[in-house]
Structure 1
Amino acid sequence: MTIEDKDEADKCIEIAQTAFLSGNLEKAERFLLKAERLFPSTKSKEFLSRVRASASSSSERKRTPPSSPSASNEEVRRRKAPNHQAPQREYTSDQLDAVRRINTKCKDYYEILGVTKEATDSDIKKAYKKLALQLHPDKNHAPGASEAFKAIGNAAAVLTDPDKRKQYDLRGEEPVQTTHSHHQYYARGFESDLTAEELFNMFFGATAFPGGGPAAYARRRQRSPSPRETHAGLVQLLPVLVLVLLSMMSGFFISEPVFSLTPSSKYPVPRETVNLKVPYYVKENFHTDYQGSLRRLEMAIEEEYIVGLRHACQRERNYRDSMAWKARNFGDSKQYAEAQKLRTPSCEKLQAFHR
């Protein structure tokens, strides 16, 4: 087994997570089995067991008739509502128990995530991922699922931030009564800078729920960037700033051309090459400052001049052919004759050098 196999297995697990959240248990199981073949791991085995348990639970619910005397109170509650009421979305007793545990029984962030105070950053992230898959409002429709999902998100955001976790451990938890009928325990001053849905997307990717999640999370709150985010932005801009600085500095080391093919205030002195008699212009101090080979310089001048003539000749021919094509296309014989008479001075000069 290679690193490539492990990477491919991780991709299969991510696809399986997305399929599981969307309710496609068959696809999730298929990709988890593929991950096991590529690179067996505890993560894929545990996830596969949970997927198969969910599939088994779903099959049992389908086989149990609605009027069965063994139906539980929760199953009776999920029966189809009368026509004048909106139908309630289904949920399992396990999902409801998970929501109730977080909303009514947990007293601090560690208890919410089900970890100890000695838990590592990796342990906290692993616990959050497991709970997020159970409590996301798009998957868990039990009452209070949204509040529980926010709670685990806030807990993970605080405990995975070293500074916030240190302050939280020093100050401890502080009970706060919410507007709900039950109590939720948070710590004042330790709310996350991210929304629960933003944190979820950081762990699972923005494509975990293509629809963008429930309407409760559709609006993202506006917030000022934290010092850490500002610092990260500056670090990302650093390579660009270095490139700009180097390009500016390179201008100081590039000397001006010795000659010009056109006269100007910098190149007012006319000269002519010995071989092809190509006119060029130099600075007033050319005779005293230039220390190189004059023969090589004039060879370079002649080469640049001929290359320029070739380009100009090609443009002149293209223009003449274009005018002739238009005249022929519109049946204008007079315009066609004029197009044939168009001169190409650059081509004439180029031919003169080859005689």
Structure 2
Amino acid sequence: MEGNRDESERCYHLANKYLSVGDLEKAKKFLHKAERLYPTQKAKDLLERIESMSDDESTQDNKENQEPQKEGVRHRRGSFGRDKTEGSGVKDYTEEQLTMVRKIKKCKDYYEILGVEKTATEIELKKSYRRLALQMHPDKNKAPGATEAFKAIGNAFAVLSDESKRRRYDAYGPEMEETNHRRHTYRNEFEGDISPEELFNMFFGGGFPSNNVYTHHTHRPRHRHHHSREHVSNDSGFTLLLQLSPILLLVFLSLLSSWFVSDPIYSLHPSGKYDTERTTSNLHVKYYVKNDFKVEFKGDLRRIERNVEEEYISNLRQNCWRERTYKENLLWRARNHADARLYEKAQNHPTPSCDRLQSIYA
């Protein structure tokens, strides 16, 4: 809760700003948001003051409605700050605007509302939203129901532009939305996380939000929110443990093998541990053992020497194959470029492993 204090203070200042220009609805909205983020007495007092102002304004409107209008046209503030002209008898909207509003209000599918295919990309969604939002904004479209159509467009875009919400919507579709309404759920599963007006301001004001900066505005009990966050944290820890389990198992097996697997008896190359030189009796291959070899080793020496010679010959064969491959490549390059010097170099290229193998089998 303490981490939301700065954001709550910002909402409080915005409410004061809208109050100073006479927009009570927006002022109340940001004060409610400030109360949800971090309740303060000054926000509560200002909210009560605005509520009393709204009641006074409502009473004044009722009085004006009861008085006959003699001259002129009375204006009343509508949603999103637009003026509705009443009593003039002149339409301030076109038939085309009214048709578009009715068409959008009849749509049940979010893709149909935005007029895009289910395979639409993020760019196509933004393009469609930009066009429709400008056409349906209540400040521009005065047709009856334009506000509801504008909200439907904003909600459709807010859901389809969020990757996780879009996956769930594609999986369950409008049927899940209707089921939630029939069950009187607290919050629609496929509802945008920001208001259509905020989305419009962010989109056309240069600060468009990505999927990870949506701000939730739902009124959920605090204990439920805490329980949900704790549940997500536990699931994340368990998932991380499952992902790391193969690596942990490999580390454990490696340590286990290092404890139980003993060092080899010999090595074909000298080292700090294998520093005593010996020679096989058959092929006279040099190999190296530990200092305590004569004391510790009680097995068959001929079997050890046979293993040494087999490993030695296997290494010679691998080295010989590499030497021949390199020499053949040099010869091919020399022939391909008609380079006599390179051809002579390739012919004289040494192959010591092959020569040693030949001498063993000669």
Tell me the TM-score normalised to structure 2 length: 0.44
* TM-score normalised to structure 1 length: 0.44
